[in-house]
Amino acid sequence: MPNLLKSSYYFPLQVTIDDREPTALEQEFRKLGNMIIHRQRLAIGDYLFDGDFLVERKTIPDFCLSIKDGRLFRQAGKLVNCRTPACLILEGKNRDFKHTDFSPQALQGILLSLSLAFRLPVLRTKNIKETVQVMLQSFKQLTGDRLEEQRFYPRPTSSRVKSDPLLAQKIHVLEGFPGIGVDKAERLLMKFGNLRGVFTAGEEELLNVQGIGTKTVNSLIEVLKK
């Protein structure tokens, strides 16, 4: 495990999931790529990202039940008082509120109380897949986008790198460009075949490479022009 964490080959995001959460969310995380995911009972929140971001997830039925039994505001108090930045995600569609015992006005008042009185961000999602996407995007925003794209993509199988010194040299050249590490360099070479292909590719072609974003493309183009 220490080698895995220290390697630029892998740079996994550690996600701790409360053991009471459904396995469907864990499966959504695993689809995205290289992450260290484990379950344990969390004292606060349901999802912890690298120890830097905490999420309390509630479906609409659970949200309403937690209001009735008094859990909601106790949980909100713990979230805002812990040292880790936190938010609450309310998952479900608007029509789900119709099956609760609360009026729209009462629910709106509670949501306003969480956002304004407790100063706890409340984010809305429609389903499990969107919940996972919002959690990861929130983490990126909170950490100043220092979460690299490669953390969400598995590294391509590349046993030939060690046996091909020329390929290793090409990867080393691409690593010298801003925002391009080993993973992105290898994906670019797999896509375009050689350095000439990478350097002459259009912006849209580059953006079609998995894990290559606008910031990386702009930096690459800027350096090549200069």
Low-confidence ranges of the chain (pLDDT < 50): 1-10, 145-147, 149-157
Mapping DSSP to helix (H, G, I), strand (E, B) and coil, where does residue 201 land? coil
What CATH code would you report for 2-148? 3.40.50.10130
Give pLDDT tens digits for 42-66: 999 999 998 889 999 999 999 999 9
pLDDT of residue 61: 92
CATH topology of domain 160-225: DNA polymerase; domain 1 (1.10.150)
Q: How far is CA 192 from CA 185, 201, 206, 207, in A?
A: 11, 8, 9, 12
pLDDT of residue 154: 46
Q: How far is CA 9 from CA 6, 26, 110, 224, in A?
A: 9, 23, 46, 25
Give residue limits of the domains in the chain. 2-148, 160-225
Give pLDDT tens digits for 11-37: 568 899 999 999 999 999 988 877 888
For the whole model, what pTM was predicted?
Answer: 0.61
